[in-house]
Amino acid sequence: MIILSATNIMKVYGVDVILKDVSFHVNQGDRIGIVGNNGAGKTTLLNILCGEMPYDDGNVFISANTSIGYLKQSQNFDSDKTLIEEVSAIFSHIADMEKEMAELSHEISDKSSKEENVDKLLQRYDEIMEAYNRCNGYSYKSEINGILNSMAFTEDFYHKKISMLSGGEKTRLALACLLLKKPDILFLDEPTNHLDIGTLKWLEQYLKSYSGTIILISHDRYFLDQTVNRIFEVENHKLYTYQGGYSEYAEKKRQRREEELRKYEGQQKEIARQEEIIRRFKQHGTEKLAKRAQSREKRLAQIELVEKPEALVGKMKIHFKQQFKSGNDVALGEGLQKGFGYGMQRKELFKNVDFDIKRGERICIVGANGVGKTTLLKILMNELEPDGGRLKIGHNVQFGYYDQEQQNLNPSNTVFDEMKDSYRLYTDTEMRSMLGRFLFKNESVFLNVGTLSGGEKARLSLLKLMLSGSNVLILDEPTNHLDITSKEVFEDALLEFPGTVIVVSHDRYFLNKVPTRIMELDTDGMTAYLGSYDYYMEKKQEIVSGKKYLNELSSVQSLKDEEVSEESEFKNLSSSEQRRINKELEAKARRKEREQKKLEEEIATLEKQIADLEKEMCKQEVFSNHILLAEYHDKSETCKARLSETYDNWLLIQEEQE
């Protein structure tokens, strides 16, 4: 069922065309990923679809009674409430129902004691109870805690004022609120910003099971592969649609462009051949050949011309060079530790951090938000002192630093002055040429740095880094503000760089392509893994599985030791004490047997309820009514959760009996 469609949408700013003849449709349950270079019009399109921006021509249709939720890239979350007050307000209707049920219960009890008629009150109580069940009233508090915890909000945050949160925390809170509201269409503009790898993985799983429709903008290629089933590409004011995730889109786009270019070039060759024949016929000057030339000219004029593929948007050109080699040993850390604050207010970031980085390595540092990855980079560059441990920097090491906040840029400078202030030996022509390679062309070199977008500031910082000649590049979230094309160019430049690279990143596509080694930082130290992200995850899983196996072995051995001890003690008891214990054990076994039977009956009942609900969901009158379908889906999910819990309890009894 089509839930949203657009027909010939056009958007113009002054004389600049942003979108032209954009048409598409979105089916219920689709997961759409919108991609395109920075400035292509992706956010503009999202604003139009959400009704937050007018368009100049065309039509947008959204199915009736469809709720929408929109996570903006720059989230202005202004509120005087605490975090938990803001989140709880989403479920105020459930809190109202709870209050009314409590009042009704009190009134029913009071009137019943006076033997007054309470039929109407009971009927109203049943109505509210049914609505309460439909709204997931019994588990909404657990859902709040689960989603807040998954978004890295522990209970320490619950009573913080929203105004005191950082920009990244406000964005995560806005996303959490949207997920709790469960709109029919979820619009997300760069939802992966400010999320660590663990939260990213949780969000991917959540969106995969989300019952509504999702339309998101993202430059995270790994995230797109995991979450979407269609790609919308905004390029040269137009929109192209592709089935599949990012990897399929990239291959299909390459094939489409090659085919378009082949058709265009083939037709141009044929036109040139025909024009040459016509020229020769006319050159001979005979009446017969002149008529043949006219005939060919008419046929040529009637050919439907193949449109020339539009030129690709310019790519920045990066090539990192080092002025001189560093020594083979770049950095050695032993037992490093760091924290902030004093006394009760002190927060320990990490301790026992060891590493040994050699020339030519490409190291990627990963870890949860707040563990101190950026702090560790600053310790490496001697901008911060560690609280303990030893750090040794190798011979001839020259650091070049890319800061994710771009604090190394002067916002009052123009782009051109920013570069000239740092690199005075280049002529104006040379500097303009280099800025052009980073897509700062014509008058854009005279823009104030403070007015640049995040992507433009990122490109300018990378140009400064490229010209620094450093032999050790230290990069803090370098791909955050880059579009996909710029990311790919940047990754290729790092792979060609002969020096050493140390990167903090959450970009898993980048982590699969660039590093020779991944180092995971946590509060108790650092663990190194050779290879890329997928290998790192595989090894982590092996370690987790190994620990689980050892714990299980330990538990089994403890039980055996306990049984031997109990058996020994039992033999030393009197016959009357042994009979008493035997009776207690038999009574306990009978209770377990009754409990097991009860659980098995509950399992059978729940499985039947789930089967009946799924059967109902397949009926036309339910399937075609998205509100009714959502109700059945929620009931089914509640039953499945209860079934899973019941199975766990049944398995516990089985394990105890074994």
With 60 as the cut, is the pLDDT of residue 325 above it? yes
For the chain, the domain total comes to 4
In a shared domain, residues 450 and 593:
no
Give ∠ CA 14-17-23 in degrees, rounded to 5.
135
In a shared domain, residues 229 and 353:
no
Looking at residue 310, what is its pLDDT?
A: 66
Mean pLDDT in residue range 209-235: 91
In a shared domain, residues 35 and 184:
yes
**What does pTM read for this prediction?**
0.67
Judge whether 469 lies within some domain: yes
In a shared domain, residues 472 and 414:
yes
Which of 69-73, 101-105, 320-324, 569-573: highest mean pLDDT? 320-324
**Which of 516, 539, 562 finishes a domain?**
539
Model confidence band, residue 362 (pLDDT cutoffs 50, 70, 90): very high
Judge whether 286 lies within some domain: yes
In a shared domain, residues 383 and 451:
yes
**Which of 287, 302, 317 finishes a domain?**
302
Residue 455 token pair: 């992507």
Judge whether 649 lies within some domain: yes
In a shared domain, residues 239 and 284:
no
How far apart (Å, rounded) are the C-alpha atoms in residues 363 and 354? 14
In a shared domain, residues 372 and 467:
yes
Model confidence band, residue 473 (pLDDT cutoffs 50, 70, 90): very high
In a shared domain, residues 458 and 334:
yes
**Residue 471 or 561, more confident:** 471
How far apart (Å, rounded) are the C-alpha atoms in residues 512 and 479? 14
Give me the domain span that covers residue 12.
1-77+165-244
pLDDT averaged over every residue in the chain: 84
With 80 as the cut, is the pLDDT of residue 192 above it? yes
In a shared domain, residues 344 and 282:
no
Model confidence band, residue 592 (pLDDT cutoffs 50, 70, 90): confident
Model confidence band, residue 215 (pLDDT cutoffs 50, 70, 90): very high
Looking at residue 585, what is its pLDDT?
A: 73
Quickly list H helices, 572-619: 575-617
Write the CATH number for 210: 3.40.50.300
Burial of 595 (0-12, 13-18, 19+ CB in 10 A): middle
Which is nearest to 634 in space by CA: 143, 286, 215?
A: 143
Mean pLDDT in residue range 305-330: 80
With 70 as the cut, is the pLDDT of residue 546 above it? no
In a shared domain, residues 288 and 371:
no
Judge whether 365 lies within some domain: yes
Which of 367-371, 507-511, 636-640: highest mean pLDDT? 507-511
In a shared domain, residues 357 and 266:
no
Q: What is the pLDDT of residues 490-517, one digit of tens each?
A: 898 899 999 999 999 988 889 999 999 9
